[in-house]
Amino acid sequence: MNLRDLRYVIAVADHRHFGRAAEACHVSQPTLSGQLRKLEEMLGMTLFERTNKSVVPTPAAEQILPLARAAVENADAIAALAKGWRDPLAGSLRLGVIPTLGPYLMPRVLGPLKQHYPNLDLMLWEDITDNLLTRLRRHELDAALLATDVTEDGIVDIPLFDEPFLLVIPEAHPLSGEGQVSSAQLENVEMLVLADGHCLRDQALAACKQPGGGRADLRATSLEMLLNMVAAGYGCTLAPAVAVAGRASPVSGTVTRPLTPGTAGRTVRLAFRETFPRRTAVEAVAAVIRTLHPGGT
């Protein structure tokens, strides 16, 4: 038994599919399948129930998996610690980022990061919060930029900056002449929100006190799509300040109005596993972002 075999077991358990597991491990499917059969023969037990439609870990495998994950994690930690002693700010850092933050924050961050830490290779993965946290737990990411509180065991975070939300409305909207928009006024706004899974969706609905609201027939999968829907006159939306900073309006045909202070906003955080051995690299990224104060208050 070796670490490679354990990585194969973990990959098949996570993907529930030999082809996808092999792809994730960068080997051919016959190679992975053959190696797992050899491992099963050595252990004298079946690890996976195989059918034409599914691959399911056996009860024995379910007991082995936590030990396999711990062994792989400890081996990776040893390798990372060794490399970290040589230079914790060199090598790859796999960073996740939510879609309502990545396109607006990362273009400002990548240049300064490369300037300050030229040997740090940032690898970005954009996804919604739940998926990023899953990848963190699976050690597929090293850290993730989020905009919600992190309450999972073993995951810690560094608060980076607070930013308010702005109301984005069509140019001819009755609120376009307001200096600031209050929470009471938001309750009467026809709010466009992102699809389920985006944290900005829940934050926007909470701000306008429409927990089940928003137009059910119009759910965008990106903030840019939402802004263009506003420009077309389908409703209004809330956008984080980082997405509209430096622009008179997010898209042509819209205007932005600030909300009464404290009405709605979010805290951007850098989350990572508490056991991650290269905390120095995570803190370096956090320090650069904090220095830029994008949209912060």
Condensed to tens digits (0 to 9), the pLDDT of residues 139-170 reads 889 999 999 888 889 999 999 999 888 888 88
The pLDDT, as a whole number, for residue 246 is 58
Instruction: Work out the mean pLDDT of the chain and round it to a whole number.
Output: 85
The pLDDT, as a whole number, for residue 295 is 44
Q: Is the pTM higher than 0.75?
A: no
Least confident of 4-8, 123-127, 221-225: 221-225
Sign of the CA dihedral with 11 first, then 149, 210, and 230 last: negative
The pLDDT, as a whole number, for residue 181 is 81
The pLDDT, as a whole number, for residue 253 is 79
The pLDDT, as a whole number, for residue 226 is 84
The pLDDT, as a whole number, for residue 64 is 94
Q: Which residues contact 178 (CB under 8 A, 6 or more apart)?
A: 185, 257
The pLDDT, as a whole number, for residue 215 is 53
3-85: CATH topology is Arc Repressor Mutant, subunit A (1.10.10)
Least confident of 37-46, 117-126, 196-205, 262-271: 196-205
Q: Evaluate whether 3-85 and 91-297 have a shared fold.
A: no
- Rounded percentage of the chain residues whose pLDDT exceeds 70: 89
**pLDDT 10s digits, 84-105:** 667 778 888 999 999 888 888 9
Q: Is the pLDDT of residue 250 over 70?
A: no
Q: What integer is the mean pLDDT of 21-43? A: 94
Q: Which residues contact 277 (CB under 8 A, 6 or more apart)?
A: 77, 80, 81, 84
Least confident of 2-11, 30-39, 54-63, 246-255: 246-255
In the chain, where the domains are located: 3-85, 91-297
Position 92, amino acid: S
The pLDDT, as a whole number, for residue 72 is 92
What DSSP state is assigned to residue 260? P
User: Residue 12's pLDDT band (boundaries 50, 70, 90)?
Assistant: very high
Q: How far are the Cα atoms of 26, 91, 125, 131, 157 from residue 272, in angstroms, in the given order?
A: 25, 17, 14, 14, 6
Check if the beta carbon of residue 117 is closer than 8 Å to that of residue 109: no
The DSSP result for 140-197, as a single string, is S-SEEEESS----TTEEEEEEEEEEEEEEEETT-GGGG-SSB-HHHHTTS-B-EEPTT
The pLDDT, as a whole number, for residue 297 is 40
- The CATH number corresponding to 91-297 among 3.40.50.720, 3.40.190.10, 3.40.640.10, 3.40.190.290 equals 3.40.190.290
93's enclosing H/E stretch is: strand 91-97
Q: What integer is the mean pLDDT of 24-40? A: 94
Q: How far are the Cα atoms of 119, 233, 244 from residue 259, in angstroms, in the given order?
A: 42, 20, 14
**pLDDT 10s digits, 176-235:** 777 778 777 777 777 777 776 677 777 776 666 655 555 555 666 788 888 888 888 888
